[in-house]
């Protein structure tokens, strides 16, 4: 059974990632023009940080919901072809662009170094894929345990581990392999995402009860979303030493609140709107490709001095999203194109049993 809430949440999360990066690039380009408002924009940009945790939640939710008795044979092989190989291709492309073409001189050693950091440390936008594959393995290893264990105990322990991990790497300088590394190694290991995984498992496993609980406590869901949203903006604004990132303990509360709110609100839909379904189906490709087109767009905008921030963000957002969809659509026309840019999701059609007419005879 398809879960309509997932399509909407995936669409929103995907577009939030693109918007987040579009805003960041415009702020970088127009920092002098924006002046003191940069810090205000940065603080409100925190509201988009639920997107990566939502993707983590979605991946495990779908596993628990679809495979109640364990994953089928060939599960990892299929995911390797459709998810990990595109990740490797984009990792290579990113290494060549950032450590090769964008540098003044072409250094093979720098490219290899960046490529290894991309693949093993998640030192580029695709780090989320490494997190997902960790949870694929954890699901396969601990599926039976999670079925038998007490959800209250599992969720309590996983929350404590997750919160402690995030607190450590928020309030103590996170370890990095290289000083210039843009993504700390601490972002990828599973303890930083463990609670999302465990919560998604039980929500997906007992989907109907999950929705019923959200409906029963809907006012608590609304309140939590508002309170956590205000809190993370305030913390980002008044705490200058805390980074704007999804790997913060306060974002843990906020992300879960937004995920719950989305499930509650979108469970009321009778059908998923076509545009939302369309974007959701291309979400993986958008996630992998949009940054390259934003960089191209930023290079174009850098030569336009008169454009104001809002139109600049809009151009990058729609241009990056549209270009990623077009390239994905085009490359997927090739037999093995999905192994480069990600596979376009095709919802399974409901099978209907053929009617057999019985004739009296």
DSSP, residue by residue, 17-83: HHHHHHHHHHHHHTHHHHTTHHHHHHHHHGGGTTHHHHHHHHHHHHHHHH-TT-PPTTHHHHHIIII
Q: Is there a contact between 84 and 129 (Cβ–Cβ < 8 Å)?
A: yes
What does each C-alpha distance from 284 to 4, 224, 250, 299, 318 come to in angstroms? 17, 29, 27, 24, 16
Q: Is there a contact between 290 and 321 (Cβ–Cβ < 8 Å)?
A: yes
**Phi and psi (nearest 5°) for 280?**
-60, -40
Q: What percent of the chain has pLDDT over 90?
A: 68
Say what the pLDDT of residue 303 is.
76
**Of 352, 325, 248, 305, nearest in space to 15 by CA:** 325
- Tokens coding 16: 């939030």
Does a structural domain hold residue 28?
Answer: yes
Q: 194 falls in which pLDDT band (50, 70, 90)?
A: very high
The pLDDT tens digits of the residues spanning 297-337 come to 988 888 776 788 889 999 999 999 999 999 999 999 999 99
Does a structural domain hold residue 156?
Answer: yes
Does a structural domain hold residue 333?
Answer: yes
Q: Hey, which of 37-46, 117-126, 228-237 has the most confident mean pLDDT?
A: 228-237
Does a structural domain hold residue 357?
Answer: no
- Tokens coding 143: 């599926």
Query: Residue 185 has what DSSP assignment?
Result: G
Residue 177 has pLDDT above 70, yes or no: no
Give the N- to C-terminal CA distance of the chain in Å, as an integer: 39
Name the percent of the chain in helix, strand, coil, to the closest 5. 75, 0, 25
Say what the pLDDT of residue 361 is.
38
Does a structural domain hold residue 350?
Answer: no
Average pLDDT, the chain: 88
Q: Is there a contact between 58 and 10 (Cβ–Cβ < 8 Å)?
A: yes
Q: Is there a contact between 343 and 332 (Cβ–Cβ < 8 Å)?
A: yes
How many other CB atoms sit within 10 Å of the CB of residue 360?
Answer: 3
What is the number of domains present in the chain?
1
Residue 359 has pLDDT above 50, yes or no: no
- Tokens coding 190: 């599973």
Q: Is there a contact between 19 and 48 (Cβ–Cβ < 8 Å)?
A: yes
Does a structural domain hold residue 354?
Answer: no
**Phi and psi (nearest 5°) for 143?**
-55, -50
Segment 268-283 shows an average pLDDT of: 95
Segment 65-87 shows an average pLDDT of: 91
Q: Is there a contact between 65 and 204 (Cβ–Cβ < 8 Å)?
A: yes
Q: What percent of the chain has pLDDT over 70?
A: 90
- Tokens coding 29: 């380009």
Residue 159 to residue 196: CA distance in whole angstroms: 9
Segment 263-284 shows an average pLDDT of: 95
Residue 186 to residue 176: CA distance in whole angstroms: 8
Does a structural domain hold residue 223?
Answer: yes
Does a structural domain hold residue 356?
Answer: no
Segment 156-167 shows an average pLDDT of: 96
Domain that holds residue 55: 4-69+77-341
**Of 64, 351, 10, nearest in space to 209 by CA:** 64
């Amino acid at each position: 059974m398809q879960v309509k809430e997932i399509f909407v949440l995936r669409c929103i999360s995907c577009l939030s990632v693109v918007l987040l990066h579009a805003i960041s690039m415009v702020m970088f380009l127009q920092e002098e023009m924006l002046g003191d408002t940069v810090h205000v924009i940065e603080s409100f940009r925190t509201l988009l940080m639920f997107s990566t945790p939502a993707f983590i939640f979605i991946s495990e939710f779908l596993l628990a919901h679809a495979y109640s008795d364990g994953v089928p044979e060939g599960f990892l092989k299929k995911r390797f072809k459709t998810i990990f190989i595109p990740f490797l291709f984009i990792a290579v492309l990113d290494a060549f662009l950032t450590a090769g073409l964008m540098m003044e001189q072409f250094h093979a050693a720098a490219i290899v170094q960046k490529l290894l950091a991309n693949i093993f440390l998640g030192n580029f936008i695709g780090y989320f894929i490494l997190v997902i594959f960790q949870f694929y393995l954890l699901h396969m290893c601990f599926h039976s345990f999670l079925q038998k264990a007490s959800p209250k105990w599992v969720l309590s322990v996983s929350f404590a581990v997750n919160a402690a991990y995030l607190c450590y790497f928020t309030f103590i300088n996170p370890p990095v392999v290289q000083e210039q590394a843009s993504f700390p190694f601490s972002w990828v290991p599973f303890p930083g995402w463990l609670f999302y995984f465990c919560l998604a498992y039980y929500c997906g496993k007992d989907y109907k009860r999950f929705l019923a609980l959200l409906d029963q406590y809907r006012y608590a869901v609304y309140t939590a979303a508002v309170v956590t949203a205000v809190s993370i903006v305030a913390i980002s604004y008044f705490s200058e030493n805390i980074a704007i990132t999804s790997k913060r303990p306060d974002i843990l509360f906020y992300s879960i609140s937004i995920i719950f709110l989305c499930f509650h609100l979108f469970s009321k839909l009778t059908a998923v709107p076509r545009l939302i379904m369309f974007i959701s189906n291309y979400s993986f490709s958008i996630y992998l490709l949009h940054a390259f087109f934003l960089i191209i767009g930023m290079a174009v905008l850098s030569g336009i001095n008169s454009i104001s921030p809002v139109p600049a963000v809009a151009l990058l957002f729609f241009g990056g999203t549209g270009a990623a969809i077009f390239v994905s659509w085009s490359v997927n026309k090739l037999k093995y194109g999905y192994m480069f840019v990600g596979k376009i999701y095709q919802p399974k059609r409901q099978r209907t049993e053929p009617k057999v007419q019985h004739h009296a005879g």
